[in-house]
């Protein structure tokens, strides 16, 4: 199916564990983004990628790692999960030109 | 960094009312985005506009580049319009990274 998909949709993990959230898009969009959404805050950028093998930090990158070996995939890894990383995570993609962004359905992550 | 502010934070209205949500930003931009987030959590892009006005069904978005202000209007509001509406602007002019407002929670009562 065409679109942008995230997996898993829900995840509960323990403090200190490594967790990877997956994001896959079928449009070959250049840009991909990871955001977290918390009460009282707007969506905040964790990391973004302008193309395969090009990634850069966003507003709140600490504790997260990304990679982009293929254009269509942009996984987000929490190296050692902490309770403060409990959040809803959204992946998004957009083309290089002035176009709208497309969002995945989100992953609700709970760190206990 | 662009600061994006929305108002009001919460809005409750009767079905059929005309709705206005406002968004202001601090840095000159190339385009502004309006997004909708339904109770289920998914985020959908409604508009991307760089000047003037855009209309899609009962939704109208306007932008005043000089005043750094945009509005989202909903005509003949319906309970299915209940959602969180979010505006987003590039962090800097021409930048692909977006800065998001905290959203306006709209509730339409039948």
Which tens digit of pLDDT belongs to each residue from A2-27? 699 999 999 999 999 999 999 999 99
Distance of CA B23 to CAs A7, A76, B44, B108, Å? Answer: 32, 30, 18, 20
State pLDDT tens for residues B69-97. Answer: 999 999 999 999 999 999 998 876 557 78
**Does any CB of chain B come closer than 8 Å to the CB of residue A41?**
yes
Check residue B20 and give its pLDDT: 98
Q: Let me know: does A32 contact A49? Beta carbons within 8 Å.
A: yes
Residue A68 has pLDDT above 80, yes or no: yes
**Does any CB of chain B come closer than 8 Å to the CB of residue A11?**
no
Work out the mean pLDDT of chain B and round it to a whole number: 91
Per-residue pLDDT of chain B (110 residues; tens, 9 = 90+): 668 999 999 999 999 999 999 999 987 777 889 999 998 778 999 999 888 999 999 999 999 988 999 999 999 999 999 999 999 988 765 577 888 999 999 999 99
The verdict on a CB contact (< 8 Å) between B96 and A96 is: yes
The distance of B86 to chain A (nearest Cα, Å) reads 8
Sign of CA dihedral B89, B92, B94, B95: negative
Tell me how far apart the alpha carbons of residues B83 and A17 are, in angstroms, rounded to a whole number: 34
The verdict on a CB contact (< 8 Å) between A102 and B99 is: no
Structure tokens given for B10:
């919460």
The distance of A52 to chain B (nearest Cα, Å) reads 16
- Which band of pLDDT confidence, cut at 50, 70 and 90, is reported for residue A40? confident
A101, A104, A106, A109, best to mutate vs chain B, most B CBs in 10 Å: A101
**Does any CB of chain B come closer than 8 Å to the CB of residue A9?**
no
């Amino acid at each position: 199916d065409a679109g942008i998909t995230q997996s898993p949709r829900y995840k509960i993990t323990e403090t200190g564990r490594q967790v990877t959230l997956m994001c896959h898009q079928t449009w070959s969009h250049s840009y991909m983004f990871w955001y977290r959404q918390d009460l009282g805050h707007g969506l905040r950028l964790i990391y973004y990628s302008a193309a395969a093998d090009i990634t850069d930090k966003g507003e709140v990158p600490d504790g997260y790692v990304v990679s982009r070996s293929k254009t269509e995939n942009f996984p987000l890894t929490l190296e050692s999960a902490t309770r403060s990383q409990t959040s809803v995570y959204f992946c998004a993609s957009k083309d290089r030109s002035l176009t709208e962004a497309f969002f995945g359905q989100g992953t609700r992550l709970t760190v206990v | 960094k662009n600061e994006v502010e929305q108002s009001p934070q919460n809005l409750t209205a009767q079905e059929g009312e005309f709705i206005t949500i406002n968004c202001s930003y601090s840095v000159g931009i190339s385009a502004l985005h309006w997004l909708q987030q339904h109770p289920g959590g998914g985020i959908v892009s409604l508009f991307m506009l760089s000047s003037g006005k855009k209309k899609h069904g009962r939704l109208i978005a306007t932008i005043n580049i000089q005043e750094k202000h945009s509005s989202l209007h909903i005509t003949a509001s319906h309970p299915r319009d209940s959602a969180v509406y979010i505006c987003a602007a590039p962090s800097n002019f021409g930048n692909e990274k977006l800065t998001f407002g905290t959203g306006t929670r709209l509730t339409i009562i039948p």
